[in-house]
């Protein structure tokens, strides 16, 4: 029986993906074959030799030690796009909050409780909360993936002029964009032209601190910035300085920190981007299906540390080899199979940077001796026979 450990509460529609006759699923599971996680931090966890996969019910994986997982032959999955609609909708709300002091107005109205003539007081005092419309303003979308693309299209539908930039945009993401979305040649072009800027990129060495004094200085005076991606994309100290000077009119973030909470001009949302029942369900089901397919068939889809490789079952046994992307690994594996007089019915291979993955369906099981030799080949991370 395969074991699935839950580090966070996972929606039942996700855990129901696992056949109860074949899987043990729960928070107390020991020596798991796979782990499902949302936000739990895993960097200090020890992983047993049995662990083959980690499924992140969400897009970001900064809570998972990716490099260590790769070295141990543990495939890490995420669920890109599963929560995209929920984040898109909150981004539109954030753009409105950046434009109009709705929160300040609501807080002021609450101070009127118990006083007479509230309706008159509201009409007299509402002038302090006049804001701006989104229609006709220029929105710069940094990152045009599953979420950024939806935001760009929604903003266009609201009548905004939209420019976007994504050096790594996929063909499918490009096809999904409205033709009205203008392609920016660089992030700098967005910084210089946009009235509003919204961030939809992962936290990487290249993107951490991308919004800082240098880039803020490039922007229009009174720019409004939305960050529902990751806290460390924005240098908080530089942002507060820009808000104090008026360079930035408003900053909306979904990642409150000690530096941002209570700071003038910053609206802190309590990480609600994907906090919809629909998003949680979609992420849970997607993560569970990907993990189950890998454990049962060796197929990889939406891994962040190994290439996507999958194929229908064709042989009596399936040999799954996670290995470094170096010469001779694949030839040595196939030679060992051929040496036993076993026919390779089907094979698929893929690479991603320094890592690679190979699936072989063979006509009959390889011997135990050959299976042991597979794991000793230089560059091999893990071998699994299914």
The 3-class secondary structure across 263-308, one letter per residue, is CCCEEECCCCCCCCHHHHHHHHHHHHHHHHHHHHHCCECCECCCCC
Residue 331 CB contacts under 8 Å (≥ 6 apart), including other chains: none
Tens-digit pLDDT profile for residues 201-216: 988 899 999 999 999 9
pLDDT value for 80: 87
Residue 235 lies in a domain: yes
Q: State yes or no: pLDDT of 196 exceeds 90.
A: yes
Same domain, 66 and 168: no
Across 74-87, average pLDDT: 93
Last residue of a domain, one of 268, 290, 324: 268
Count CA atoms closer than 13 A to 26's CA, side-chain side.
5
Same domain, 1 and 79: yes
How far apart CA 67 and CA 355 sit, in angstroms, is: 11
pLDDT value for 381: 94
Catalytic center residues: 230, 259, 271
Same domain, 162 and 201: yes
Confidence grade of residue 88 (pLDDT, cut at 50, 70, 90): very high
pLDDT value for 371: 84
3-state secondary structure of 321: strand
Buried b (16+ CB within 10 A) or exposed e, 132-167: bebeebbbbbbbbbbbbbbbbbbbbebebbbbbbbe
3-state secondary structure of 346: strand
Confidence grade of residue 323 (pLDDT, cut at 50, 70, 90): very high
Which range of residues forms the domain containing residue 91?
85-95+133-268
Residue 204 lies in a domain: yes
Residue 323 CB contacts under 8 Å (≥ 6 apart), including other chains: 329, 330, 355, 356, 357, 358, 377, 379, 380, 381
CB 234 within 8 A of CB 253: yes
Same domain, 378 and 323: yes
Residue 339 lies in a domain: yes
- What interhelical angle do 102-110 and 118-125 show, nearest 10? 150
pLDDT value for 58: 87
By the 10 Å C-beta count (0-12 exposed, 13-18 middle, 19+ buried), 216 is classed as buried
Q: State yes or no: pLDDT of 67 exceeds 90.
A: yes
Across 351-377, average pLDDT: 91
pLDDT value for 372: 86
Across 272-278, average pLDDT: 91
DSSP type of residue 309: B
How far apart CA 78 and CA 61 sit, in angstroms, is: 7
Report the CATH number at residue 167.
3.40.50.720
Tens-digit pLDDT profile for residues 94-122: 999 999 999 999 999 999 998 889 999 99
Confidence grade of residue 131 (pLDDT, cut at 50, 70, 90): very high
- How much of the chain exceeds pLDDT 70, in percent? 100
The 3-class secondary structure across 185-236, one letter per residue, is CCHHHHHHHCCEEEECCCCCCCCCCCECHHHHHHCCCCEEEEECCCHHHECH
Same domain, 31 and 163: no
Residue 126 lies in a domain: no
pLDDT value for 141: 98
How far apart CA 64 and CA 45 sit, in angstroms, is: 9
How far apart CA 79 and CA 58 sit, in angstroms, is: 5
Tens-digit pLDDT profile for residues 29-66: 999 999 999 989 999 999 999 999 999 998 889 899 99
Last residue of a domain, one of 253, 287, 305: 305
Residue 64 lies in a domain: yes
DSSP 355-384: EEEEEEEESSPPPHHHHHHHHHSTTEEEEE
pLDDT value for 59: 81
Closest CA to 302 of 83, 145, 78: 78
Mean pLDDT score across all residues of the chain: 95
Same domain, 157 and 293: no
Q: State yes or no: pLDDT of 142 exceeds 90.
A: yes
CB 226 within 8 A of CB 198: yes
pLDDT value for 274: 84
Take residue 310 and report the two structure tokens written for it: 């999958």
Last residue of a domain, one of 283, 305, 327: 305
pLDDT value for 48: 95
Across 243-260, average pLDDT: 97
Same domain, 89 and 212: yes
How far apart CA 31 and CA 50 sit, in angstroms, is: 6
pLDDT value for 172: 87
Residue 23 lies in a domain: yes
Question: Per the structure, how many domains does the chain have?
Answer: 3
DSSP 132-193: --STT-EEEEE--SHHHHHHHHHHHHTT-EEEEE-TT--HHHHHHS-TTSEEPSSHHHHHHH
Residue 161 lies in a domain: yes
Residue 22 lies in a domain: yes
Q: What is the phi-psi region of residue 149: left when phi exceeds 0, alpha when psi lies from -120 to 50, beta otherwise? A: alpha
Same domain, 139 and 262: yes
Q: State yes or no: pLDDT of 224 exceeds 90.
A: yes
Same domain, 284 and 331: no
CB 22 within 8 A of CB 279: no
CB 307 within 8 A of CB 350: yes
Report the CATH number at residue 334.
3.30.70.260
Same domain, 165 and 256: yes
Same domain, 53 and 177: no
Same domain, 151 and 253: yes
């Amino acid at each position: 029986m395969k074991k699935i450990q839950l580090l966070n509460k996972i929606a039942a529609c996700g855990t129901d993906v696992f056949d109860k006759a074949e899987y043990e699923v729960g928070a107390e599971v020991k020596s798991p074959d796979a782990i499902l996680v949302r936000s739990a931090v895993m960097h200090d966890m020890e992983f047993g030799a049995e662990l083959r996969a980690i499924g992140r019910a969400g897009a970001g994986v900064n809570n998972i030690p990716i490099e260590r997982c790769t070295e141990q032959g543990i495939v890490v999955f995420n669920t890109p796009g599963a929560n995209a609609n929920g984040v898109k909708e909150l981004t539109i709300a954030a753009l409105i909050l950046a434009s109009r002091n709705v929160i300040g107005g609501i807080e002021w109205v609450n101070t009127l409780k118990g006083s007479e003539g509230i309706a008159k007081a509201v009409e007299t005092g509402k002038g302090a909360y006049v804001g701006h419309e989104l229609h006709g303003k220029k929105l710069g979308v940094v990152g045009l993936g599953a979420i950024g693309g939806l935001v760009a299209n929604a903003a266009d539908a609201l009548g905004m002029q939209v420019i976007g930039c994504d050096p790594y945009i996929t063909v499918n993401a490009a096809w999904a964009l409205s033709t009205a979305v203008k392609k920016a040649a660089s992030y700098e072009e967005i910084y210089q032209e946009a009235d509003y800027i919204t961030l939809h990129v992962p936290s990487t060495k290249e993107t951490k601190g991308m919004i800082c004094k240098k880039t803020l200085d490039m922007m229009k005076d009174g720019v409004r910035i939305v960050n529902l991606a990751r806290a460390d994309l924005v240098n908080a100290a530089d942002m507060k300085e820009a808000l104090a000077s008026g360079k930035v009119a408003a900053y909306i973030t979904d990642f409150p920190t000690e530096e941002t909470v209570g700071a003038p001009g910053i609206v802190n949302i309590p990480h609600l981007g994907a906090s919809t029942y629909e998003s949680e369900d979609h992420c849970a089901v997607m993560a569970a299906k990907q993990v189950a397919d890998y454990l049962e068939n060796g197929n990889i889809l939406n891994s962040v540390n190994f290439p996507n490789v999958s194929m229908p079952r064709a042989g009596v046994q399936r040999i799954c080899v996670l290995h470094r992307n170096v010469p001779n690994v694949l030839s040595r594996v196939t030679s060992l199979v051929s040496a036993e007089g076993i026919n390779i019915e089907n094979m698929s291979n893929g690479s991603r940077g320094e890592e690679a993955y190979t699936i072989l369906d063979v006509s009959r099981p390889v011997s135990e001796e050959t299976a042991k030799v597979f794991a000793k080949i230089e560059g091999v991370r893990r071998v699994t026979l299914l």
